[in-house]
């Protein structure tokens, strides 16, 4: 592509929200790092990838049946990633 087109493409990539880079990324590695891998099947059943997890609020996670301690750990880990 022409240099102007490349520059425009790079600008578009930079303008995307950070969570978009995590679409279709499994949550397993994050959960395993927190010692919470037993909750991975629950999140997979609900089609929660890393991007969705970043967008979810504590109440959403609690509605899935996750204990509050697990919710707090996940939210803290996600905040540290940003």
Q: What percent of the chain has pLDDT over 90?
A: 61
DSSP class of residue 24 equals T
Residue of 54 and 4 predicted with greater confidence: 54
Q: Mean of the per-residue pLDDT values for the chain?
A: 83
Work out the average pLDDT over 18-34: 82
Say whether pLDDT at 39 is over 70.
yes
Work out the average pLDDT over 2-27: 64
Q: What is the pLDDT of residue 69?
A: 96
- Joined together, the tokens standing for residue 23 give 């679409």
The 3 state secondary structure assigned to 25-62 is CCCHHHHHHCCCHHHHHHHHHCCCCHHHHHHCCHHHHH
pTM of the model: 0.72
């Amino acid at each position: 592509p022409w240099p102007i087109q490349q520059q425009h493409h790079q600008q578009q990539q930079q303008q995307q929200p950070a969570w978009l880079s995590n679409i279709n990324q499994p949550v397993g590695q994050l959960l395993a790092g927190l010692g919470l891998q037993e909750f991975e099947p629950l999140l997979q059943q609900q089609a929660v990838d890393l991007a969705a997890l970043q967008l979810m609020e504590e109440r959403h996670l609690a509605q899935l049946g996750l204990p509050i301690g697990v919710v707090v750990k996940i939210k803290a880990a996600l905040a540290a990633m940003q």
